[in-house]
Structures are given as C-alpha cells and as structure tokens.
Amino acid sequence: MLNPVLDKKGKENTTRPKPLTLTTWLNKTGARETYRYCNPTGGKYTWKNSISQTRIDQIWVTSELREDIIESEIEDMEFRTGSDHNLIWAHINLFDIQRFKHKATRQRKMNRRKVFKYREATQKNWEDYSKTLDNLLRKNIYEEKELVNSDTTEEKIEEQINRRWEDLVRAILKAADEHLPHKMIIVSREEAKKITPKNPRFEDLRNLRRIARKARSNNGIIIDGIDQLLINTQIQEINRRQETEIPEITEM
C-alpha cells in the first residue's frame, strides 16, 4: 500500500504502516506507479474483502518511461472472473523507444572491458596478489594419480587438463580483481579488433597452454631431444620472467 489515506478504505487502523523497502527503493530510482501517476486523487482499489478495500496490485515503470504513461485504470472483475482482485492496466507510449531503437542497437555493439593498471600497482598490491593467487591455486590442486592412472582414458585426461587450465585462469583473474588497480572501459567492436600489445604475462600463459596441449596430444609418445629442449627453453624463460618454479620436462 502506497498511501494509507488514498489507497485503503474500511476498518480504521490507528497504526500508520511503514512503507515497504521495495516501494522506497523504487521511488528513489525515479520509478513511478502508473495508476497514482494518472489519478492523483483516484479512489479505486484492486483487492477487497467484507470489511476493507486496498490497492495492493500496482504497475511500476522506470524513470525513462514515466513521461510516456498515457493512461492507467482499475476495472472491477468480480462479475467477470469471480476474483477478489480487480484488474489494473496501463497504456504507455512506446513510439520513442521504437524510434530510437537504432541507438540502442549501437549501444549494444559496445562492450565493456576491464583494464588492469599494472603501472599503478604498488609492491604491496603485488604481494597481496601473489599470496591470494597461491592460496587459490592450492585449493584447486588435483591428485597426481588422476593423470597417471593407467586406466584413465584420453578423454578423461583432456577433461582434467582443461579443468586445471580453467582453474588457473579463474584464480589469476580473481586475485587480480581483489588486489590490482583497474578500471572499466567501453570499447566498440571496431576498436576491439585493433591490434594492441599484449601484456607479457598473457603471452607466457598462452605459451604454457600450448605446452599443455602438446603434452596432451603426445601422451604416451616419446619425443626426441630437440622438442624436449625447445619446450624446456620456453619454461626456463617463463620462470625467469615471472619468477616462477615450473618444473622442466624430463620425460614425455
């Protein structure tokens, strides 16, 4: 009930009801209840019993649509449906929405992207990031026997590797969201297609994924020393740049 004087009739109640939290929030956002907007002093109700009537059924529109409300009314439904609720309806002009549909279409083509501001990150930011990332990864460590079990199928191995990779990506993003400074920007599709320099960490993660894929595809196959040397060289470079301790390939 919005207004205890206008929206209720019947048994007197000396206690003034508190406004609903939802109603208070809607008013703060600028939304409008259509019937009262069109009928400032109207006295129709949407529900009744033998002792009272009240207007508990409502139609709300956003602040953008409130100026387009043309009419709103309440109709008695007792002899049509036998319900103790009446019908409330609203007539809203949607011409402007349809007219400017192309504008909304252009806006949908824009996407929001999170950009991490690495240069503004402090030493403490990086330390907190590393600590959180380490804790997240420890929670997602799988038993090694999952991968070395002789009964494990190739599909199962692929599933486990993919799961590990997804856990790694989620952990990195979660830790970065919590501790590294960032901002949201809107990028058009045309701008998104432009070639931008990748962060070195991104390139190293992509190389790790390539190595994991190669290990999966060569599961059970002995590779020659040259391929092993190339893979280990990449791992050594990643460890040097990122100060990590990824083990090198000893057998494959």
pLDDT in tens, 198-245: 667 777 777 777 777 776 666 666 667 777 787 888 888 888 888 888
Domain ranges of the chain: 8-104, 111-196, 197-252
Q: How confident is the model at residue 194 (pLDDT cuts 50, 70, 90)?
A: low
Which architecture characterizes domain 8-104 according to CATH? 4-Layer Sandwich (3.60)
Q: How many CB atoms lie within 10 A of CB 195?
A: 5
What does pTM read for this prediction?
Answer: 0.39
Q: How confident is the model at residue 143 (pLDDT cuts 50, 70, 90)?
A: very low
Q: Return mean pLDDT, the chain.
A: 78
Q: How confident is the model at residue 144 (pLDDT cuts 50, 70, 90)?
A: very low
Q: How many CB atoms lie within 10 A of CB 246?
A: 13
Burial of 172 (0-12, 13-18, 19+ CB in 10 A): middle
